[in-house]
Amino acid sequence: MADKRKFSWKAGQSSVQNAAEVLPALAAAFFAQGRALTSQPPPEALHNFRIQAKRLRDTVELFQSCYNRRLERLLKSLRELQQTLGELNDLAATRRMLVDRGFDKSRQNLLANLDARIAEKAEQFFPVWRETFAREDEARRWVHYLATGMFRPTRPVHKTGRR
Amino acid sequence: MDKKLRSLTIEEYASAQTEALLERLAWQVSHTAKRCDPESIHDLRVEVRHLTNCLRVFKQFFAKPERKKIQPQLQALTKLAGEVRNRDIALEVLALVPGVQDGDLATQLAKERKQAELELVKALQRWTRRNLFRKWRGKLGL
């Protein structure tokens, strides 16, 4: 099941302080759910994980103004992961729609084609997950950033002097 | 980092974000009612999702009865927009499946999309007429 976390905010404290205390646990839960996925996860597990990714992104984006610009880099990788999961969901939703219309008997070719594309897309998920989120220290990086990323100023860009 | 927002307490921040998302949704509702193309339908669903998530995340700062009245209305809008969006996606996916171009299916889906679009536009216009967003702002104490 996608995590339906209850948030507990400390009224009277700043938004920045609250975000630093609450958001890291949300990211940790996302990484834990991702790590629990097997190499050939059932569609339902991927669907739940897609919802979890969406909730993490939507909630972190709610606090974007509390963080420095490095947050955008983290969100970019999350968006890429969501893109793959979203495409997979689109294919699965179309398949369901066709089956509901009785296409399972009359148009086997169409369904077989969709099944092949669904399997292909599901296979694309793991490389994306491995190359970004499953990297060593990535979960720690997210958790650490969400706990401290608002207090550290973004390093100014210096001109290198190269021509 | 937005210094002004950063200095707010969490309850002030919740109000500011909810108000901003309500405004964005109000704009998107009127925009989608006029355009109703796949992109504006998608954007409408995104805005509804953002506001729904915001109300969920910050629910401790809003009165339960008021929040409970708003949520089903947002769900109803998501469902209506989803009926259109599902057809848009199916048409897009099926157009990419090689060798299985099915004119009848595409025509049927396009027809259903049009019907779902009409129902959505009716609901969006009703929302605008009833000035729902202003009412919600009052109910949420914004």
Distance in angstroms (rounded) separating the CA atoms of residues B88 and B55: 28
Distance from CA of A15 to the nearest CA of B (A): 4
pLDDT in tens, A11-69: 999 999 999 999 999 999 999 999 998 777 888 899 999 999 999 999 999 999 999 98
The contacts of residue B72 (CB under 8 Å, 6+ apart) are none
**Residue A63 lies inside a defined structural domain of this protein:** yes
Which of B52, B67, B85, B97 has the highest number of chain A CBs within 10 A, making it the mutation to test binding with A? B97
What pLDDT does B106 receive?
Answer: 87
Task: Report chain B residues whose CB lies below 8 A from the CB of A50.
Answer: none
**Residue A142 lies inside a defined structural domain of this protein:** yes
What's the CATH number of domain B3-139, 3.40.50.2300, 1.40.20.10, 3.90.1150.10, 1.10.10.10?
Answer: 1.40.20.10
**Residue A157 lies inside a defined structural domain of this protein:** no
Give residue A64's Cα distance to chain centre: 16
Beta bridge partners of A14: B9
Let me know if A107 is exposed, middle or buried by CB neighbors in 10 A (0-12, 13-18, 19+): middle
**Residue ranges covered by each domain of chain B:** 3-139
What pLDDT does B86 receive?
Answer: 95
Q: Which pair of structure tokens corresponds to residue B44?
A: 């409408």
ipTM: 0.91
Nearest CA in chain B to A152: B1
Give the pTM: 0.90
CA nearest to B58, candidates B17, B96, B24: B17
Of B49, B59, B92, the CB nearest to A58: B49
Interchain pair B57, A62: CB under 8 A: yes
Task: Report chain A residues whose CB lies below 8 A from the CB of B102.
Answer: 107, 110
Nearest CA in chain B to A86: B89
DSSP code for A135: S
Confidence bin at A163 (pLDDT 50/70/90)? very low
* Predicted confidence (pLDDT) at residue B96 exceeds the cutoff of 90: no
Split into its structural domains, chain A has a count of: 1
**Any chain A CB within 8 A of the CB of B97?**
yes
Task: Report chain B residues whose CB lies below 8 A from the CB of A150.
Answer: 1, 6
Interchain pair B89, A90: CB under 8 A: yes
Q: Which domain holds residue A59?
A: 15-148
What pLDDT does B104 receive?
Answer: 81
* Predicted confidence (pLDDT) at residue A80 exceeds the cutoff of 70: yes
* Predicted confidence (pLDDT) at residue B1 exceeds the cutoff of 60: no
Task: Report chain A residues whose CB lies below 8 A from the CB of B83.
Answer: none
In Å, what is the CA distance from B79 to each residue of A31, A154, B72? 30, 41, 10
Distance from CA of B49 to the nearest CA of A (A): 8
